[in-house]
Amino acid sequence: MTLTATAPTRPARTAKPQRRRGVLSYWRFYLALSPFYLLFVVFGLYPVASTILLAFQKWDGLGPRKMVGLQNFGFLIQDSTFWLSLWNTVVLFVMSTAPTLVIAMTLAVMLHSAVRFKGIYRIAYFIPNITSLVAAAIFFAAVFSTNFGLINAGLRSLGLPTEDWLRQPWGIKIAISTMIVWQWAGYNTIIYLAGLQAIPTEQYEAAKVDGAGPFRTFFSITLPQLRPVVLFTVIMSTIGGLQTFTEPQVMVGNNGGTGQSGMTVVMYFYNQAFFNNDYGYAGAIALSIFMLVLLFTAINWKLLGGRGRQ
Amino acid sequence: MELSRRTLIAGGFAAMLGGTVVGCSSSMDAGTTKKNATGNIALWCWPGGLGKSVLDDTIAHFPDQHIKYSEVGGDFKQKLLTTFNGGTSIPDITGVKGEDIASMLPQANRFVDLKTIGADSILGDYLDWKVKQATTLDGKVLGIPIDIGPTALFYREDVFTAGGLPGDPAKVAEQLKTWDDFLAAGVELKKSNPKAFIVADAADLYGTIVNQGTARYIDKDNKFIGDQDHIRKAWDTAVKAITLKVDGKTLGGSPDWNAGLDNGTVPTVTGAAWVALDIKAACKTSVGKWRVAPTPSGPANFGGSFLTITKSAADPAAAFEVIKYMLSADNEAKAFADAQIFPATPAAYDKPQLKAADPFFGGQVPIEVFGPAAKNIPIAYEAPLDSAVATPFTDELKLVQAGKKSSDAAWSSAVQKAKQIGKRQGVQ
**Could you tell me which residue, A148 or A123, shows the higher pLDDT?**
A123
Per-residue HEC secondary structure of B191-219 comes to HHCCCCCCECCHHHHHHHHHHCCCCCCEC
- Please give the pLDDT value at position A168: 87
Return the beta strands (E) in B294-411 as ranges. Answer: 306-309
Report d(CA B24, CA A77) in Å as an integer: 35
Cα–Cα dist A265/A291, whole Å:
12
The amino acid at residue A51 is T
For residues A279-302, give the mean pLDDT.
Answer: 90
pLDDT of residue A310: 43
Residue in A with minimal Cα distance to B83: A62
CA dist B130 and B139 (Å) reads: 14
* Beta strands B41-45 and B93-96, pairing class: parallel
- In this prediction, residues A167-178 reach a mean pLDDT of 92
| pLDDT tens digits for range A97-116 | 999 999 999 999 999 887 78
State residue B35 phi and psi, 5-degree precision.
-75, 140
For B71, phi then psi, to 5°, come to -90, 110
Residue B96, SS3 per DSSP: strand
Give the residue ranges of chain B where pLDDT is below 50: 1-3, 5-31
Rounded to the nearest angstrom, the minimum Cα separation between A64 and chain B is: 8
Query: Rounded CA gap, A178 and B361, in Å?
Result: 41
Partner residue opposite A75 with nearest CB, options B31, B392, B424: B424
Give the CB-side neighbour count of residue A195, counting CA atoms within 13 A.
23
Q: What percent of chain A is modeled with pLDDT above 70? A: 91
Kind and range of the H or E element at B358? none
pLDDT at residue B30, as a whole number: 40
At residue B64, what are phi and psi to the nearest 5 degrees? -75, -20
What's the pLDDT at A117?
A: 87
ipTM for this prediction: 0.73
Q: Which domains occur in chain A, in start order?
A: 80-271+283-306 (1.10.3720.10)
Interface probe with A: pick from B251, B386, B394, B415, most Cβ of A within 10 Å: B251
Domains of chain B: 41-149+303-348 (3.40.190.10), 151-200+248-300+372-382 (3.40.190.10), 202-247+384-427 (no CATH)
Pairing of strands B306-309, B93-96: antiparallel
Q: Is B70 helix (H, G, I), strand (E, B) or coil?
A: strand
Check residues B170 and A8 and name the one with the higher pLDDT. B170
CA of residue A56 relative to chain centroid, distance? 28
Instruction: Give residue A256's pLDDT.
Output: 87
Reported in sequence order, the residue ranges of B303-377 that DSSP labels E, i.e. its strands, are 306-309
What's CA B32's distance to the chain center, in Å?
30
Kindly state whether B388 is in contact with chain A, defined as any CB-CB distance less than 8 angstroms.
yes
| pLDDT score, position A89 | 94
Q: Taking a C-beta distance cutoff of 8 angstroms, is the pair B303, B99 a contact?
A: yes
How many Cβ pairs closer than 8 A exist between chain A and B?
A: 100
The CA distance from B338 to A213, in Å, is 72
State the Cα–Cα distance between residues B231 and B419, nearest whole angstrom: 14
> Which residues in chain B (25-54) have CB-CB distances under 8 A to chain A?
31
CA distance A4 to A169: 63
Which pLDDT value is given to residue B111? 95
* pTM strictly above 0.90: no
- Amino acid, single-letter form, for residue A285: I
From A80, which residue of chain B is nearest by alpha-carbon distance? B417
- Which residue does chain B place closest to A39, by CA atoms? B20
Residue B48, pLDDT score: 87
In this structure, what are the phi and psi dihedrals at residue B43, rounded to the nearest 5 degrees?
Answer: -120, 125
Q: Inform me whether the pLDDT recorded for A3 exceeds 60.
A: no
pLDDT, residue A306, reads: 57
Residue A19 confidence (pLDDT):
55
According to DSSP, the residues that pair with B273 across neighbouring strands are none
> What would the 3-class secondary structure string for chain A be?
CHHHHHHHHHHHHHHCCHHHCCHHHHHHHHHHHHHHHHHHHHHHHHHHHHHHHHCCEECCCCCCCEECCCHHHHHHHHCHHHHHHHHHHHHHHHHHHHHHHHHHHHHHHHHHCCCCCHHHHHHHHHHHHHCCHHHHHHHHHHHCCCCCCHHHHHHHHCCCCCCCHHHCHHHHHHHHHHHHHHHHHHHHHHHHHHHHHCCCHHHHHHHHHCCCCHHHHHHHHHHHHCHHHHHHHHHHHHHHHCCCCHHHHHHHCCCCCHHHCCCCHHHHHHHHHHHCCCHHHHHHHHHHHHHHHHHHHHHHHHHHHHHHCC
Chain B CA closest to residue A2: B2
The residues, any chain, with a CB within 8 Å of residue B63's CB and separated by 6 or more, are: none
Mean pLDDT, chain A, rounded, equals 87
Q: Are B54 and B335 in contact (CB under 8 A)?
A: yes
The separation between CA A2 and the C-alpha centre of its own chain, rounded to angstroms, equals 38
Q: Name which of A60, A79, A146 is nearest B106 (Cβ-Cβ).
A: A60
Whether the per-residue pLDDT at A75 is higher than 60: the answer is: yes
